[in-house]
Amino acid sequence: MTQDKLLRALGRLLFISSFLPYAAKLPYMLGAWRYSPMDRHDWLFLLVAVVALLASFRVLLARRSATQGMYLLALLPSLTVIALGEALDIHAAVIMGAVAFAWSILWFTLGWRSAYTAFPIYAILGLSCTSTTYWLGYFSGTLHWSGLAIKEVLTVLLLVWLLFNIFRERQVRREAFCFYLAFTILIFTA
């Protein structure tokens, strides 16, 4: 086995193992999906994310690029969110941190081009998080939209974004993307 093949095999192993923090929360999520009326349909978003990831995996591999350490912009905050979520016993924080962790490992193993292309998939995976249906409905304010309807609309928009990413590759600066992502998270959590 050549060194290049070994590195690719290790990269794929690292990519697969990046979902372990998410998988560790699956027993909790399965219980919530089974017994919580608000979370009952969230497993569908996991299914959509898995199908989208499998369908676009060849494109992600084709867009492999060199990593330059910038993936730490996503890796360190995701590990912090997981640790704080575990310490404070906030399951949703751990799940969202696990999704961000898996995305940052994709960034590490396949590079920025693949990470940007796959971002909508990981955002859909984040919609499978428990309690997000309630919170999206709550934050819709006076519109009184159903959290599930908001998640469905977001999923369609994210799938359209993914299709644009797959069929028309754009060069998006990672620093600008991370800034706008952090700004969006700050706006929605403030």
Structure tokens at 94: 């751990």
Tell whether the torsion through CA atoms of 83, 86, 91 and 95 is positive or negative: positive
pLDDT at 88 over 90: yes
Contacting residues for 141 by C-beta, under 8 A, at least 6 apart: none
Residue 28: half-sphere exposure toward Cβ, Cα within 13 Å: 16
Confidence label for 65 from pLDDT (cuts 50, 70 and 90)? confident
Torsion of CA 190, 156, 104, 189, to 10 degrees: 10
Q: Which pLDDT score is estimated for 1?
A: 60
- C-alpha to C-alpha distance for 116 and 123, rounded to whole angstroms: 11
Query: Can you give the pLDDT at residue 4?
Result: 78
Rounded Cα distance between 103 and 190, Å, is 24
Domains of the chain, by residue range, sit at: 25-189
Mean pLDDT across the stretch 16-45? 95
pTM: 0.92
In the prediction, which pLDDT does 125 show? Answer: 98
More confident residue, 147 or 141: 147
78 neighbors 104 (Cβ within 8 angstroms): yes
Give the pLDDT score at 190: 61
Q: Please state, in angstroms and rounded to a whole number, the distance separating the CA atoms of residues 184 and 166.
A: 24
Dihedral over alpha carbons 8, 13, 18, 24 (to 10 degrees):
170
The better pLDDT of the pair 79, 8 is held by 79
Q: Number of helices (H) and strands (E), helices first, in the chain? A: 10, 0
CB 103 within 8 A of CB 118: yes
43 pLDDT above the threshold of 90: yes
Q: What is the mean pLDDT of residues 151-166?
A: 97
Mean pLDDT score of the chain:
91
Judge whether residue 3 has pLDDT over 90. no
- Which carries the bigger pLDDT value, residue 133 or residue 143? 133
